[in-house]
Amino acid sequence: MPDWRGVSRLFLVVAIIGLLGGVGLGLYAAWVVWPVDVANVDVTDLKAMSQDEYIILTASTFAYDQDLAKAQARLALLKDTQINRRLAILAQALAAGDKPEAAYVAALAIALGNQDQSIALIATTATPTITLTPTSTLTPAPTQTPTRTPTLTRTPTLTPTVTLTPRPRATATRRPPTSVPVPPIVWLPGFPAEWPGGVRYEPLNMASIAPGQKYWRLVRALYCDLGDERNDCGTLPGGNQGIGVYISLIGGGGPVMLNDKVANLEDKSADPQCRCNFETFPDGSTIQMASHPSDKIGGLALSSVKTKIPQTHVRYFLTFQLLTR
């Protein structure tokens, strides 16, 4: 009669060996022969929150190295056609949460051409912090020794004494204003190669500006030649045949100085045709702001790079931003 128990054991051993062999073969195929390869991961594949962190990192780096071209290249990886609007929304959200990164994001938005007054305010406003400062406060803390009564006719007692102990108290102290990184100038087109030869830019000597002092920075300068279609020149005030210097301000108001003298220019903030704060004639005068120390730019005249003909209809668009050292 056959030994069925032996046959069953042999079958069990063979089944276990076969199972282990199949598992091993599967792992080898998955890890060696056909491994999973994660490739072509783009910034656009990140979640929205991670993309916001990427933008904050880009803005913080820009605040350190002031390399606008590099910041633009990094933001371009997001492939967002509304990236300027996204920067503004993110800066407002960070400011609402009292995040210090809000100023960096707002400063990058301004450097990219944003002229929203609320964004400029975020870029130039410091956030006060609360610190604990010990302050002496008199607080009575009674200390009493128990009365001891001897068995004599006289009963001595001890008078309770009061000990005053200072206790720390939280007080709010405002730190001095935090300086905003100096934004680079956005030249459109490239300066000086594609601008009239007589244009002069005189940057403010930052060594003369004390910490906490306000100053005017030229953050954007656009030159529109005759019939120029670059940089939206055709849709800007004056049209392709127009003449003028259009001055826009961020974070503050006029007046404007021409050739080191205060000019009596009309405030055109409410003029939809101008879309600027002030307008003047391009007669080559040196332009700067009067209320605080300011960058200067001069030589803006009727000069065409394209035609090389003097007295040609051209336009200039300047944006000054009020910052704190």
* 112-122 pLDDT tens trace: 888 887 888 88
Pairwise CA distance, residues 165 & 228, whole Å: 77
Average pLDDT, rounded, for the chain? 81
Question: 190 pLDDT exceeds 80?
Answer: yes
In the numeric block, which tokens belong to residue 170?
């939280």
What's the first-to-final CA gap in the chain, in angstroms? 103
- 216 within domain boundaries: yes
Q: Write down the pLDDT at residue 163.
A: 57
Q: Is residue 176 part of a domain?
A: no
Structural domains counted in the chain: 2
pLDDT of 132 reads 43
| pLDDT cut 90: percent of the chain above it | 40
In this predicted structure, what is the pLDDT of residue 305? 94
Mean pLDDT within 256-265: 95
The answer to whether residue 221 sits within a structural domain is: yes
Q: Are residues 119 and 191 in the same domain?
A: no
Domain that holds residue 118: 43-124
Q: Is residue 28 part of a domain?
A: no
Q: Hey, which of 81-90, 158-167, 266-275, 285-294 has the most confident mean pLDDT?
A: 285-294
142-184 tens-digit pLDDT: 555 555 545 555 555 555 555 555 555 555 455 544 556 788 8
Give yes or no: residues 101 and 201 share one domain.
Answer: no
Selected residue with higher pLDDT from 40 and 263: 263
Residue 257 lies in a domain: yes
Residue at a domain's end among 92, 108, 124: 124
pLDDT tens for each residue of 9-67: 777 767 777 777 776 677 666 666 666 555 556 777 788 888 898 999 998 888 878 88
The more confident residue out of 182 and 140 is 182
Q: How far apart are CA 255 and CA 180, in angstroms?
A: 23
In a domain, 230, yes or no: yes
Tell me the mean pLDDT in the region 280-295.
96
- For tokens 């730190």, what's the residue? 175
Q: Are residues 196 and 318 in the same domain?
A: yes
Res 49: pLDDT: 85
Long-range contacts of 107-111 (CB under 8 A, 24+ apart): 107/59, 107/62, 107/63, 107/180, 107/181, 107/183, 108/58, 108/59, 108/62, 108/63, 108/71, 109/84, 110/183, 110/219, 110/250, 110/321, 111/62, 111/68, 111/71, 111/183, 111/184, 111/186, 111/219
Residue 293 lies in a domain: yes
pLDDT at 295 over 70: yes
200 or 1: which leads in pLDDT: 200
Q: Are residues 207 and 291 in the same domain?
A: yes
- Whether 129 is covered by a domain: the verdict is no
**Mean pLDDT on 116-143:** 58
pTM of the predicted protein model: 0.51
Note if the bond before 192 is cis, omega within 30 degrees.
yes
pLDDT above 70 covers what percent of the chain?
A: 73
DSSP-assigned beta bridge partners for residue 303 = 310
205, 106: one domain = no
pLDDT of residue 2: 56
**Co-location of 111 and 197 in the same domain:** no
Q: What pLDDT does residue 128 have?
A: 42
pLDDT score, position 196: 94
Choose the final residue of a domain: 80, 102, 124.
124
